[in-house]
Amino acid sequence: MATPGKPARNAGPSGAPALLTSRDNRWLKDFRIALRGGVPTEGGFVGVEGVRLVEESLRSGCRIQGVLFSESGERHHQRLSSIIDRPEMAFPILRTTDRLFEGLADTEHPQGVAALVHPRETSFDDFARSPLSVGAPLLVVLAGVQDPGNVGAILRTAAAFGVTGAATAASGISGTANPFSPKALRASAGAALHLPILAGISLSILLAQLKVTGVRTLASSVREPRRGDQPLLAPWEVDWCQPVALLVGNEGAGLPEEVERGADARLRIPMASGIDSLNAAASVAVVFYEAARQRNSAAASSIQTSVPSQPSKTSDAVRPPKET
């Protein structure tokens, strides 16, 4: 019978993988730990479940330990076959019964396909570096965001607007939820497997490293400024084309006061009277939309300046307004 780390793609007599029928099978135990238990396996692999997340994990370039189908989940094999059937994909393809799959799945109505994936290992240099085609680093630091759904949604939003790296850190007594837990991975729609994520770093050490490397820190603030405090900036009052890290605090308490005061600037989204705050992921979406707008405008201006002979084909209806 197949064991973790030993490929067994064609264990069955007909060329199909052998059916795993024992609840005590080592493979099924590892999937149960990673999915239902929500913690990494002994080898550091995390569980992803559902055809879309498995597809994202296969495309992410992360190391895959194995892919598991239930009997009814075999219908998804064709969608994934263009990736998992490649000769270089040397991980086992496993099968089990619908009943055993339901016992290890973390969702109420499992789709019958899961994978064990090893998140990419990220150093500070990986986190703070950005591709040359992108420009300056655009980073997000989650400090005390406890809900894994919020963590995943923030990472998905950040990736959508061009963030180049993310970090998770504790804030006071509030830890940040594991970005690679099943719930966070589902909420991120797999974005957590594509972004460089520096997970579980000390917040004070991270802030010191950002300062040394010249990355400006912007604290999302839930507090009214005191006399003598730096003013709160709106997202459009910030230059997002320079190296920037947005600090996002706990859902209720926000960032520790000392962290806010130590940041290079404090940020708040202006809202209608009577509304105190937005959900953490919604706030990040508003802020990083403005960052993406500025960066895209700067990139477009650079292209037009370097190639003046090419007339713009953008219609007046969709052309962004000139900055004044």
Per-residue pLDDT of the chain (324 residues; tens, 9 = 90+): 344 544 444 433 345 667 999 999 999 999 999 999 889 999 999 999 999 999 999 999 899 999 999 999 999 999 998 888 887 778 999 999 999 999 999 888 999 999 999 999 999 999 998 877 778 999 999 999 999 999 999 999 999 999 999 999 987 667 899 999 999 999 999 999 999 999 999 999 999 999 999 999 999 987 777 776 778 999 999 999 999 999 999 888 888 888 988 999 999 888 887 777 788 899 999 999 999 999 998 776 655 555 554 444 433 433 444 444
308 domain residue, yes or no: no
Radius of gyration of the chain measured on its C-alpha atoms: 23
Residue 251 confidence (pLDDT): 83
14 domain residue, yes or no: no
Do 100 and 181 fall within a single domain? no
3-state helix/strand/coil string of the chain = CCCCCCCCCCCCCCCCCCEECCCCCHHHHHHHHHHCCCCCCCCCCEEEECHHHHHHHHHCCCEEEEEEEECHHHHHHHHHHHHHCCCCCCCCEEEECHHHHHHHCCCCCCCCEEEEEECCCCCHHHHHCCCCCCCCCEEEEEECCCCHHHHHHHHHHHHHCCCCEEEEECECCECCCCCCCHHHHHHHCCHHHCCCEEECCCHHHHHHHHHHCCCEEEEECCCCCCCCCCCEECHHHCCCCCCEEEEECECCCECCHHHHHHCCEEECCCCCCCCCCCCHHHHHHHHHHHHHHHHHHHHHHHHHHHCCCCCCCCCCCCCCCCCC
User: Which tokens in the block code for residue 322?
Assistant: 């000139």
Do 84 and 51 fall within a single domain? yes
Residue 302 confidence (pLDDT): 58
Do 97 and 144 fall within a single domain? no
Residue 76 confidence (pLDDT): 93
Do 44 and 129 fall within a single domain? no
76 domain residue, yes or no: yes
Do 54 and 202 fall within a single domain? no
Residue that finishes a domain, picked among 66, 96, 118: 118
Residue 317 confidence (pLDDT): 33
Do 135 and 96 fall within a single domain? no
Do 238 and 133 fall within a single domain? yes
Residue 318 confidence (pLDDT): 35
5 domain residue, yes or no: no
Task: Assess contact for 160 and 286: CB atoms under 8 A.
Answer: no
Residue 320 confidence (pLDDT): 43
Residue 157 confidence (pLDDT): 96
Structurally, the chain folds into a number of domains equal to 2
Task: Give burial (CB, 10 Å; 0-12/13-18/19+) of 67.
Answer: buried
Do 62 and 208 fall within a single domain? no
Residue 304 confidence (pLDDT): 55
11 domain residue, yes or no: no
Do 102 and 144 fall within a single domain? no
316 domain residue, yes or no: no
Residue that finishes a domain, picked among 90, 118, 146: 118
Question: Could you list the residue range(s) of the whole structural domain that residue 178 is in?
Answer: 124-303
- Alpha-carbon distance 130 to 164, whole Å? 6
CATH number of the CATH domain containing 70: 3.30.1330.30
Residue 319 confidence (pLDDT): 41
Do 229 and 83 fall within a single domain? no
CATH number of the CATH domain containing 150: 3.40.1280.10
